[in-house]
Homo-oligomer: A and B are copies of this chain.
C-alpha cells in the first residue's frame, strides 16, 4: 500500500519478476476524457459517442485498480474501433507527425554528430520525441518542445547504468510509443551502434506506432521490427505474443519509451530503461518528479 496525494493506492504483485504501476482513481475520469476525445476523432456522431461513454462508464465497475491504465486503454480504443468501424482514428495525424519529424531528421542527426556527448544527446532527442502524444489531450509544438527538452535537465538520469548496460549488451529491445516519436527513436538507435529490435503495437491504438508507422519512419533501416502482439497502449506481458515474450525475457537491454509502457513495466525485474516525459501528475508523482519533467530511469533502481 502506498500513500500518495492523501490517497491509499493498492499494489498487487502479479509475478515475481514483474510488478507494474497500478491504476490510480485519478485515471478514471481520464478514461472518460480519452473516450470522448478519441470518439470525436473517430466519428462526428455525438449520439454514438454518448453510447461509447455509456459502454466505458459501465466497464468501470469491473475494472480493478489492480489493473494498469493500458488495460483500460485497450478496452477503450477497441470499443471505439468496433462502434465506429474506424480502425485507425488517428491515421492522418500519425502520418502528419511522422512527416514533420522526418523533416527534422537531418538536423537532429547533425546535432548528435557535432555533440560532445553523442549518446546523451541522442537520448535527449528520443525523449523529446515523447512530447507527441494524442492520448493526453495536451497541445504540443514539435519543434519548440524539442528545443526546450534538449536544454532541460533530466529529473532522473541513470546515464551511467545505461552506458554500462549498453557496453556489454549484444541485443537491445526497443519498445516504441508514439508515431512520429519513432523518427526520434531512429536517432538513438543509430547512436547506440548495437543490434536493435524495435517493438510496435499489433493494431492501431491512439497514435501509438504500428508496423506501418515504423516503416514510414524508416526504422527498418536501423533495426528489425516486431509486434508486441497486443493492441494495448502499453506492454501487457500476458497479452503479448510468444515472439515478443521471448525477446523481452532474453534481451540484454530494454529501452521503454513513454508513459503507457512505463505504466505496465514500472517495476519489471529486467534491465529496462524508461525514457519519457512525465505528462500527467499521476505518472510524475509515481516517479517522484514534477509534471513535465524528463526522465531516464533504470527500472532496477
Contacts from A to B (Cβ < 8 Å): 6-10, 25-26, 28-30, 32-33, 36, 40, 44-47, 49-50, 53-61, 65
Contacts and interface: CB of A to CB of B under 8 A. Distances in A.
A44 B5 CA distance: 11
Contacts of A8: 44-47
Contacts of A65: 46, 50
A8 B44 CA distance: 8
This protein's copies in its complex? 2
Contacts of A32: 28-29, 32
B53 A6 contact: no
Nearest to A59: B57
5 contacts: A7-B44, A25-B53, A29-B36, A53-B60, A58-B58
B54 A7 contact: no
Contact of A28 (B30, B40, B53): B53
Prevailing SS type, chain A contact patch: helix
A30 B53 CA distance: 12
Contacts of A59: 57
Given A7-B40, A9-B46, A29-B32, 19 more contacts: A7-B44, A25-B36, A25-B46, A25-B49, A25-B50, A25-B53, A28-B36, A28-B53, A28-B57, A29-B30, A29-B33, A50-B65, A53-B60, A54-B61, A55-B61, A56-B57, A57-B57, A57-B58, A58-B60
A93 B141 CA distance: 40
Contacts of A47: 8, 10
A85 to B, nearest CB: 19
A54 B33 CA distance: 16
A174 to B, nearest CB: 33
Nearest to A61: B54
Nearest to A62: B54
Contacts of A26: 36
Contacts of A54: 60-61
Contacts of A61: 54-55, 57-58
A123 B57 CA distance: 41
A8 B33 CA distance: 17
